[in-house]
Amino acid sequence: MQQLKLSNQLCHRYYVASNAITRAYRPFLDKLDITYPQYLVLMALWEKDNVDVKYVKEKTHIDGGALSLILKKLDTKMLLQLRASDKDKRIKFIKLTEAGWQMQKDASSIPEQLMCQVTDITRDEAELLKTLTDKVIANLI
């Protein structure tokens, strides 16, 4: 049964790659005292600040329950503030603090440092991989 061999599975490659990438980020993020999921949330907020939780959930594709825990942790670290909407107290808005914005400066070199570790892939190949991965994601979400 060839279709059940791990070596024939595209999804297994994504699984292994995801784990490897998360491990590669760890030394950089440890210096900032954040996890990879927290980094994803911060990147979404660096693109657009003062947004509701729904926006961050859609942008990051992080599960709602996990996102709530991440937001509470980032709030505890004083990187963002959570506040209820004036119109509907069930809707929470997220706003970066000054420390959250400072972290953007501290993290600005991480993508380049990480790409320096991937020496066997060109920028064009990385762009193609990104495009193809986006197609896979679009078909599965």
- The domain tally of the chain equals 1
Q: How far is CA 13 from CA 26, 58, 87, 91, in A?
A: 20, 25, 46, 38
Q: Is residue 62 part of a domain?
A: yes
- What integer is the mean pLDDT of 95-105? 97
* 45-87 pLDDT per residue, tens: 999 999 999 999 999 999 999 999 999 999 999 999 999 878 8
Domain of 60 in residue numbering reads as: 34-104
Q: Is residue 13 part of a domain?
A: no
Q: Is residue 17 part of a domain?
A: no
CATH of the domain at 58: 1.10.10.10
Q: Is residue 44 part of a domain?
A: yes
Mean pLDDT of the chain: 92
pLDDT band (50, 70, 90) for residue 2: confident
pLDDT band (50, 70, 90) for residue 88: confident
pLDDT for the residue numbered 118: 81
Q: Looking at beta carbons, which pairs linking 50-55 to residues 24 or more positions away fall under 8 Å?
A: 50/93, 50/94, 50/95, 51/93, 51/94, 52/85, 52/91, 52/92, 52/93, 52/94, 53/91, 53/92, 53/93, 53/94, 54/91
pLDDT for the residue numbered 90: 84
Q: Is residue 7 part of a domain?
A: no
Q: Is residue 76 part of a domain?
A: yes
